[in-house]
Every structure is written in structure tokens, then in C-alpha cells.
Structure 1
């Protein structure tokens, strides 16, 4: 089957590459000529483990193409996936759909035979209906159907998530569109992957409900961590104790500095806005958003407290800048709140991240970046672990102690524990542990 993917960002590029691995012929289109030039030269504009080899293999096999021409991409396509950004709209937090609707209006000119238009972008409930309304004003309705096919890709594990998903959700109207979508995902049917066919509105709600629920688990365990610190409990044991209950599960119960990334922050805000639009109170999700925003700033205060109540004139070493490991994504990372808060109180920041420093340099100012962890730590008054990259899990603590001016560790991911570092003379502060 021939398909087009509009947008070569994280979702579009991963989805396009994986569909081509299924054997489909995929053309990814983007208005950013520089990005397309990089892709044509074999350079991947984002960091995702395994994506470079996947793209190269399918490009060489003649199944994966890149272009700036939507007309070329649409030629003969039986399905077109819209995978453009839907960032939070300035002012109200609602999803900004301008790029989605711009893509819809442009692609209408190139639909000559029956085509399924699929929203892969995360969009509020009702967006599919609005797309159909706009296309109906431009095209004979027999030429198209509109489907919703939300993505559930974890950054750092996106290829595995696409190839071996927990489920595939498809919101459609009519058997004709169902047949096209079934053919696209036929390799997963053969693997007995659950494929949930619903109407469009249900699929749109499923995406937001899933992300909001996971974000809720994160904010919940972070509040439990605060309680643990006050009463002498250990939040990691609490997480284990409740996570073994199959009704709860152990995923997303790791206390830390708050969630970030391209999905949870904007999707929870958008869900609250959508609920407001329909007159439905969304008090739990609203609280989740509020807890997470306050959480990030509270982490900066935790660092200040660990440094004796002041960071004025102190050198703080930051290990990890991205919102999670195995990605270069800095969007809404806790570091973007924690570092400026420390700088505002007079700290000098030295930082290292295995993949995120190039992007971080566009978002943070007055930081000295290093190319490895140990030079970052030299002369530091405190080290703060913000992102739990694997290479931070086995630091030579004796060397770290010798390099630092003051052996203070603030571990916002509980990579270590007091028992790990006490023998080296560190003053240790973790999350959700009063010891």
C-alpha cells in the first residue's frame, strides 16, 4: 500500500519508517527544506535509538522517501497521515490546530481517488469531525474518509512500541476506511495485536485519557514522596508495595522532579480545556497539572536546602537535561524550570547531558556545558541528577568526591541512595526518603 505522512517530526518520522518496515511504500513530506535535505543525506534530525538504521534500510530498499512536495507525496496514496505538531496554544493551553487544518486544506487539492485521511497528531475530541466538515466543502465526500489513529510511542522506545504495541486504536466511520486501516496494520493482526476499532470521537478521547491517567500516576506518587519525606517512609518501597497490586501496576510510579516531554504537559492542559468547552469539570486532571507545575520549582528549593539554604556564588553541577533518558527532547523538561530558578538565586551552572545539550543551548542561558560527567563535577559545591541516564548510575564516587569542592548530592531520580554514597562522605538528598 502507498501512503503519505505529513510531518517528519518525532511521530511522523518514526511512524513512516515503521510503516515502510511493514512493507508499505511511504513518502514523508515536510515544509522544512533543511530537514528534508538532512534526511535525504541520511542524517536523522532527532535522536531515537535504532531509527537511523531503520530509515537507512527502508530508504535503500525503495520503500521510504522524503520530499517537500505534498503533490508528489499524495500521488497514488491510499492513506495520508497527518503528523504535524499540536503545541499548547498560548494563553489558554488548548491544542493549537493551525498546522493540522493547514495540512488538510492543502492536501484536498491532490485527492483524485478514494483516500483515507488519518490524524496521527494528538488532537482534541471533535477534530476529526471538523476535518470532515472542511474537506466536504472542498471535495466530493465519496473521495475520502477521515480516521483517527492516535500514537502511543514512548520516546527512547518508539520503534519497539510501534512494532509490538500493547494495542492499536483506530477511530473510523464505514467499512471502506476500516478495510484500508486493517491492511495498513495487517502485520500486527498476524501477531494478534489487539486492534480497537471505534468511532472517531472515542479514539480521540482514548489518547487524551491514556496520557492523563499516566500523568496522574506520576503526580500521585510525587505527592506520596512528599509525605514519605515528612514521616520517615521510603517512597520506593511504597511504589513497590502498591505496584504489585495488579489493579494498580508498577508503571509510572517512580517519584521524581515531575513529568515533561512533548505529550503529558500539553495533553493534560488540552484535556482540561476541552472538558471546559463541553461544561464537564475535570478536577482530577486539573490538579495533576497544578501539582506538576509546582513540583518542578519545589525541586530547585530542595537543591537550595541541601546547599545549606543558599546557592549564591555556588557552582552547581547538573547531570541530565532532557525530560527522560534515551532522547534529545528538551520540551518541558524539569531542567528548564530548575536551572533558571537556581540561577535566579545566584548559582553558577555547569551541565552535561549525553544527547540534549545542543537543544538545551537554545533554551537555557549562561550555562557551561561539558562533554563528559567528570569535568562537569570539578569544583562543584553540589551535584544534581535530573535525568537518569544509564551512564550516571555507576559513577566513580571516589573520583566524584575528589573532584567536587563540597560533596553534596541531590538525586532527583533516586539513582543512588544514602547507603551507596555515605561511605564516600557525601551529604545526600533523594526523593521521598527522609534518610
Structure 2
């Protein structure tokens, strides 16, 4: 099948590459010529495990192309995916200007019947909006249909999520149109659900809002655990084993971030209020998430002795909003570093992938080549993102190079007793703070590798 994908961000690029890998002829279009030039040279605009290799393979085989010529790509295509950005406005509503521009481009190029697929995350009613834009701007009386096919990709595992999705949602005006998409997705052999367009649009927002609510609930429980002397990791484990609840998205930490959950929860809240429903539960989810990094920052200040951090050095481990991505959107490291700098601290930071993206925001802080360079001379080590390489740090080595044995763990990647036995003061989320065991000089033992924590979002 000939496919055009408009937009080469996370969703558009991964969608186009996977469809080409399934044997389709795909043209990915973007109006940013620098991005297209880079892709044609094999330079990825995003970091996603396995993406670069898959792009190279399908370009070499002639199934995948990158272009700025929207009209040529649409003219050739049978199915056109709109996968452009839908950023939030100040009031929480969704900016559909990029979707509108894409729809106008499609309208001008329409030369035969095509299925236009909204892949971007969009509020209810966008399908009707896109249809109206194309009807108004088309140059020929050519028929078309608009379909909603929301994505459910997680950054860091986007290719796997596209190839092995939990479900494929197709919102179509009739079953004939739906069958065109079913044919496209058939090689994946995954569960498919066919709905009307509005329901498909709601499924995406409702799913993300529910997952965000689970995260905020776990964090609210963690805050009670800290006061009551309970251990939130044990509490959520006991909850998650209940098949009605499940363990996914139930780990406590610094809250959700990234490009989806913050934007989608605010957009759904705005949509609900537009229809006259206040949605107090979703309001509380958002408020809890916004409060969580502030609580952690207060914990840092309390551990370091107050708000004046002049003369102190703090090492920050992890910058991206989650592991296996370089995405800094709504990353909790931004809140932590901004506060530390405002209070006079010297900040050293390290992330396996996201340093260059962070440097554009904080050009004057020091970046280390690894966790130990960041820890050297530090008065505290703050874990913000749970990259695997942070989970097996050598505590004996840390103790020998840090100015003070103090760790603040925003992702609960260490066992408190293990850290304490190694001579560190340890603060985490939803667990009792433990003072260090006093050890004779040179007696610090290396910590055993810890079990991998549930990834944050």
C-alpha cells in the first residue's frame, strides 16, 4: 500500500518506519527541510532504541523516503496519516493549527479517493474539523473519508509498542472505510476495535488520563506512607497483585512527565469543562502531579539544611523525563535544577542520552561523563531518572569521592537498608528516611545490584 505520513516526530517517524518495514511504500513528509535533510543522511531527530537501524534498512530497500513535498506524497498515497504536533495552549485546550495546516495541504493535493487518518492525539470533534477543512479547501470534487487511529506509544519502547500493541483502535464513519485500515494493520495480528470517530478520539484521552490518575494515586499514597512509617513499595506491590488493579503505572516517584500525560490530562479536563462537566477527579490528579516534585525539592532543602545552598554542590543523575529517551518535555529534572540554581547551589549533572538537550536549557551547569564525575565533590547526589546504569553504582567508590554521604532518590531505585549499611543518609519517596550506619574509615561495602524498578512516565 502507498502511504503518506505527515510529520516526523515520535509518532509520525515511528509509524512511517514500521509500516515500511511491513512492506508498504511510505513517504514521510515534514515542512522542516533541515529535519528531512538529516533523515536523508541517516541522522535521527529523536532518540529511540532501534529506530536508526530500521530507518537505514528500509531506506536501503527503497520502501521508505523522506520529503518536504507534501503534494507529491499525498497524490501518490492511498492512505494519508496526519501525525503532527498538537501542543497545549495556556488554558489547557489543544492547539490544532498544525493539524489544520496538514489538512489544508491534503485538500490541495487530493486527486483521487483517499483515507485521511488522524494519528495525532486530538480532542473529540477533530475528525469533523479535519473533514470540514478538507471540504472547504479541496480543488477537485474528490471523495475522501476521515478516520481516527490513535497511537499508544511509550517513548523508549515506541517501535515495540507499534509492532506489538495491546490493541489497535480504528474510529471510522463506516465499516467499509474501517476495512482499509484493518488491511493495513492485519500483518501485526493484534486485537482491533472498530468504533465511531468520536469514540476513538475519546479512547486515547481516557486511557492516558486513567494511567495518569494511577500514578498520582500512588504518589498520594506514598505521601501518607512517609508520615505513617509504611513502605510504599510494599504497599503498591500488594495492590498491584490484585488483578483488578495491576502493577503497571503504580510506582511512586516524582510524577508523570513527557509529551503526553501532562498535555492530555489538561486537554481532557478542558474538553469536559467545555461540555459542562467539572471533572474533579482529573483536577486532583493534575494537582497531585504538580505538587510531587515540589515535595521532593523541599526534601532536598531539609536534608541540606535550609533554603540557602550557596557553597554546596549537588549532583543530579538523570535528566530526561524517563529512561531510554532524550525527551526533556515536562522532565522533573528541570524543576529540580531550576530550584537548586535559584538557591545558590552548584549543579553537576549526567544523563546517558539527554545532556545535549538539557544543555540548551542550562548551558552553564557542569555536565559529567558518568555518574562518578557528577558525584565527585558533591554534598548530595539526587536521582531523578531511573536509568539502569544508576541502579548498580558502586557505593564504596561514591563514598570515597563525595563530600558528604547523602543520596536523595526520587525513583526508589535502591533498597534503603542497603544504602544505609553502606554509610549513606538516604531519602526516597514514600519510605522512612534512614540515617547512615556509622562505619570505620574504609569499611564501606559496595551495594548489591538492585531489582529493576517499574519505569516512570
With structure 1 as the length reference, what TM-score do the two structures score?
A: 0.97
Deviation sequence 1:276-304 (CA, Å, 0-9, x none): 11111211111111111111222111111
The aligned counterpart of 1:88 is: 88
Aligned residue in 1 for 2:366:
368
Contact kept in structure 2, 1:243 and 1:250, CA below 8 Å: yes
Residue 344 (structure 1) aligns with: 342
Contact 1:322/1:335 (CA < 8 Å) preserved in 2? yes
| In structure 2, C-alpha distance between the alignment counterparts of 1:179 and 1:169, rounded to whole Å | 12
Q: Which residue of 2 aligns with 1:149?
A: 149
Cα distance in structure 1, aligned partners of 2:293 and 2:147:
37
The yes-or-no answer on 1:20 pairing with 2:17 is no
Give the match for residue 123 of structure 1: 122
In 2: Cα distance, 1:328 partner to 1:264 partner: 17
**Would the alpha carbon gap of residues 141 and 204 (structure 1) be closer, same or farther in structure 2, given more than 3 Å must change?**
farther
Check conservation: 1:417, 1:430, Cα contact below 8 A.
no
Deviation at 1:141, TM superposition (A): 6.9
Secondary structure of residue in 2 paired with 1:196? strand
Task: Give, in whole Å, the separation in 1 of the partners of 2:131 and 2:275.
Answer: 20
Name the CA distance, whole Å, in 2 between partners of 1:254 and 1:278: 33
Q: How far is the alpha carbon of 1:433 from its aligned partner?
A: 0.3
Counterpart secondary structure, 1:419: helix
Q: Which runs of 5+ in 2 are unaligned?
A: 434-457
Q: Is the 8 Å Cα contact of residues 94 and 273 (structure 1) preserved in structure 2?
A: yes
Give the C-alpha shift of residue 213 in structure 1. 0.3
Residue 178 of structure 2 is aligned to residue 178 of structure 1: yes
Tell me what 1:163 maps to: 163
Measured in 2, the distance between the counterparts of 1:402 and 1:45 equals 39
Alpha-carbon distance in structure 1 between the residues aligned to 2:104 and 2:363: 39
Check the 8 A contact 2:106/2:134 in 1, yes or no. no
- Say whether residues 1:308 and 2:305 are aligned partners: yes
Question: In 2, Cα distance between the equivalents of 1:275 and 1:364?
Answer: 37
Whether contact under 8 Å (1:2, 1:26) holds in the other structure is: yes
How many angstroms apart in 2 are the aligned matches of 1:424 and 1:347? 26
| Alpha-carbon offset, residue 348 of structure 1 | 1.2
1:297–1:341 CA contact under 8 A, matched in 2:
no
Residues in 1 aligned to 2:418 and 2:211: alpha-carbon distance in whole angstroms: 30
Distance 1:110 1:269 in 2: 34
SS in 2 for 1:216: helix
Shift of 1:75: 2.6
Structure 1: any 5+ residue segments left out of the alignment? none
Partner of 1:194: 191
Query: Is the deviation greater in 400-409 or in 338-347?
Result: 338-347
> Aligned ranges for residues 269-284 of structure 1 at < 5 Å?
269-284=266-281
- DSSP 3-state at the match of 1:128: helix
3-state SS of 2:408 partner: strand
Shift of 1:365: 4.7
In the aligned structure 1, how far is the partner of 2:13 from the partner of 2:225? 42
CA-CA distance at 1:421 after TM superposition: 1.4
Q: Which moved more, 1:325-334 or 1:342-351?
A: 342-351
Secondary structure at the counterpart of residue 137 of structure 2: coil
Root-mean-square deviation (Å): 1.2
- Could you tell me which residue of structure 1 aligns to residue 7 of structure 2? 7
Aligned residue number for residue 419 of structure 2: 421
Deviations 1:11-57 (A, max 9, x none): 10001001111111110000111111111001111110011111111
Hey, what does 1:106 align to over in structure 2?
A: 105
Q: How does 1:25-104 map to 2 (within 5 A)?
A: 25-89=25-89, 91-104=90-103
Q: Secondary structure of 2:31's partner? A: coil
Count of paired positions: 431
* Distance in 2, Cα, partners of 1:141 & 1:417: 66
- Contact (CA 8 Å) 1:322, 1:353: kept in 2 or not? yes
Contact 1:83 1:119 in 2 (8 A): yes
Structure 2 match to 1:134: 133
Q: Distance in 2 between matches of 1:338 and 1:259?
A: 14
